[in-house]
Chain A
Amino acid sequence: MPAAESATSARAGWVDLLDRPWLAWIAGRRELPPAAGLLLLATLAGLLLVGVWGTAVGNRNAAIVLVWILWWVLLMGVAVPVAGRGWCAVCPLPLPGEWLQRRSIFSVRHAGSDTPREGLTRVGHNLYAGANRRWPSSLSNLWLQTAGFLLLATFSALLLTDPFTTAIAIGGLLALATVVALVFRQRAFCRYLCPVSGFLGLYASTSLLAVRCRDESRCGDCRDKACTAGNEQAWGCPWMERPNRMTRSNACGLCLECVRACPTDNMTVFLRPPFAEHGLAGWDEAAKAVLMLSLGIAYTAIYLGPWGGLKDAANIASHRDWSRFLHYAAGLWGFAAVAVPASFLLVAAWARHRAGRGMSLKACALAAASAAVPLGLAAWIAFSVPLAFVNGAYVVAVVSDPLGKGWDLFGTAALPWSPIKPEWMGALQAAVVLGGQAAALRAAWHAAFAAGADRRAALAMFRPTAWLVTALSLLLLWLHVG
């Protein structure tokens, strides 16, 4: 099992944010997340229309600029390191389905004894519309999300540059989320299908915010478990977690329903040091972690590198040469889904051989792959730096002319493109990669120590992983500043 935190006493240095009355007041306002969600949903609807009817020139279309520059940079650079899955609390994709499921936007539907059911289904202590089927246990993992992200990544050149494709992809996810919400319980789409959610959950282990119970003994005395099942004040955990028993943040969407539900005010939001959680729970998480790291490296080479051949091969929209594109896809999959994962497996096998003492390959592999979480996050943050510094100017211009039709709503449409201090980017990217390497080494050591029988066995496991982490860090550094 991942060595998250084993007891309340292990939260040394954690700050209970909701001890502050004003933060507790904000957390208790159940109308705030849906209000933010409504605003974002309206924005999303506008962007879908802009993507379909606006200019096909990507850097002049708000659908491309606001999604793949502004939103992505804020997500990877700020939201994920600070709040992990915090975006999930306001993400507009699942909202229409959730509101249809709940038959409500702001209020709670409690399954009290005198509450008319009106054809609704009871789940926990709340009532829901829809079929409310349980998500299949065989699919209760990250494999679908991993496959979905790899598919999107394969067509990323089209997705990142063509507004119509962006609109179709996001619109498709919106439709899928709505349908899934009417068939399956709660946020099954978010937990098991959404390609963005997959990596948000993975990197939530590194974030500064964590929802946990204040005092585990008080949860032990609680019979209702309103945090999980809901009550009159709040919906049961839409992520199908047991908040009172959470020791990992990977499936917590920071919706704070559990905080509002708890009758003893025992759920809170902690501010903690970064990279507080270590370890991965299964092969699906390990595969996701390694794949995200691999794709971070691949994206850096393809989109930030000088090699036009890679960009040409990825650019199926322009050349329409499917044979060439399939060669590119095979190369991308070969690197991201075969070569890099194989290197982690080799390292794990070597570590198992060195550690001896009956260590399983799975334990060694999970320990090795745990390093891919912080290093992968660093790779993606470093990749996102040029989006802000170089392409950020497009955001200001596109606000005045979102469809690229020659408007000038706020007088900024004619703002000439100019990168912002591009000579600073290299140092910033290098610092991010080195920070990621440090965190990766720490994560790998903690995971090896948790899996190893003793310190010497852990060190034997850690050594090959440490050198693999170093090699990948050097590759990232070379791509950015070499």
Chain B
Amino acid sequence: MSKWSAVAVHRLVPPVVLATAVVLAASAGWLWGGPVGPAVQRSIDVTARSFAFEPAVLRVNEGDRVTLHLRSADVVHGFHLDGHDIDATVYPLRREFTLRSGGKETLAASVTFVASRAGKYRYRCSVTCGAMHPFMVGELIVEPNRLWSSTAAAALAMTSGALFLLGRNAAGRHARG
């Protein structure tokens, strides 16, 4: 191997090793995903008010059958669930809301779906309701939240790996004097 290619390899090894460690950690985080319970049926009341949803965060397990009863506490709000074919218009003082799903528009008192895909999905107001309307969001977390566990693992591995490699390099140079 020529001197220059040896130098190139020497320079490439640490970032390649680091990248590999990060990918491995992310993969492990993705596969583990965190603790998750058995799939159950859940019935949840969600109330929209300017400018938040209550509850603000819904945690369910993958496979749960989730029924949402949508209400409005003040004005007409929307309810759009990212990644799911669910959009609704919710009226104050009324139990029923206009549901748009599956290409149809119906009047409904609840909407049921199966949380078939793990991850974090936001539900948003889809009817202009006031100044902070664009920021009116809630979070549906379907465990195991693999994206969170894998990226958190990647972040930790990145720093740990960098410190390890830099520490070894510094120790090696110190030993060589």
Chain A residues with CB under 8 Å of chain B are: 57-60, 157, 161-162, 302-309, 311-312, 315, 317-318, 390-391, 417, 419, 422-423, 426-427, 430, 433-434, 437-438, 441, 445, 455-456, 459, 462-463, 466-467, 469-470, 473-474, 477-478, 481-482
A374 to B78, CA, bound (A): 37
* B window 36-84: CB within 8 A of A: 49-54, 56-57, 80, 82-83
B134 contacts across to A, CB distance below 8 A: 58-59, 161, 390-391
B141 CB to nearest A CB, Å: 8
A311 and B56 contacting across the interface, CB-CB below 8 Å: no
**Given known contacts A423-B121, A426-B147, is B158 in contact with A304 (CB within 8 Å)?**
no
A459 and B57 contacting across the interface, CB-CB below 8 Å: no
B9 contacts across to A, CB distance below 8 A: none
A390 and B148 contacting across the interface, CB-CB below 8 Å: no
Q: Main SS of the interface on chain B?
A: mixed
A470 and B52 contacting across the interface, CB-CB below 8 Å: no
11 A–B pairs (Cβ distance < 8 Å), ordered by A: A58-B133, A306-B53, A307-B52, A308-B53, A430-B147, A441-B158, A445-B162, A459-B166, A469-B159, A470-B159, A481-B145
A469 to B160, CA, bound (A): 12
B57 and A306 contacting across the interface, CB-CB below 8 Å: yes
A57 to B54, CA, bound (A): 24
A473 to B130, CA, bound (A): 33
B131 and A445 contacting across the interface, CB-CB below 8 Å: no
Q: Number of B residues contacting the other chain (C-beta, 8 Å)? A: 46
**Given known contacts A59-B133, A426-B119, is B148 in contact with A481 (CB within 8 Å)?**
yes
**Given known contacts A419-B124, A423-B83, A470-B156, is B163 in contact with A157 (CB within 8 Å)?**
no
A423 and B147 contacting across the interface, CB-CB below 8 Å: no
**Given known contacts A306-B53, A441-B162, A481-B145, is B132 in contact with A157 (CB within 8 Å)?**
yes
Q: Please, what's the 1-or-0 string for B82-123, where 1 marks a CB less than 8 Å from any CB in chain A?
A: 110000000000000000000000000000000000011110
The yes or no answer to B20 lying at the interface (CB within 8 A) is no
B158 and A438 contacting across the interface, CB-CB below 8 Å: yes
A481 and B151 contacting across the interface, CB-CB below 8 Å: yes
The yes or no answer to B31 lying at the interface (CB within 8 A) is no
In the complex, the chain B residue whose C-beta lies closest to that of A161 is B131
In the complex, the chain A residue whose C-beta lies closest to that of B140 is A306
A437 contacts across to B, CB distance below 8 A: 155, 158-159
B138 and A306 contacting across the interface, CB-CB below 8 Å: yes
B121 and A430 contacting across the interface, CB-CB below 8 Å: no
A36 CB to nearest B CB, Å: 29
B51 and A311 contacting across the interface, CB-CB below 8 Å: yes
A455 and B173 contacting across the interface, CB-CB below 8 Å: yes
A470 and B155 contacting across the interface, CB-CB below 8 Å: yes
B170 contacts across to A, CB distance below 8 A: 455-456, 459
B131 contacts across to A, CB distance below 8 A: 58, 157, 161-162, 315, 317-318
B130 and A481 contacting across the interface, CB-CB below 8 Å: no
B124 contacts across to A, CB distance below 8 A: 390, 419
**Given known contacts A441-B162, A462-B166, A470-B159, is B56 in contact with A307 (CB within 8 Å)?**
yes
Q: Which of these, B136, B159, B167, contacts A441 with CB under 8 Å? A: B159
Sorted nearest first, the 8 A-B pairs with minimum C-beta distance are: A308-B52, A306-B56, A423-B83, A422-B82, A161-B131, A482-B148, A470-B159, A430-B151
B158 contacts across to A, CB distance below 8 A: 434, 437-438, 441, 470
In the complex, the chain B residue whose C-beta lies closest to that of A424 is B83
B98 CB to nearest A CB, Å: 13
A264 to B117, CA, bound (A): 63
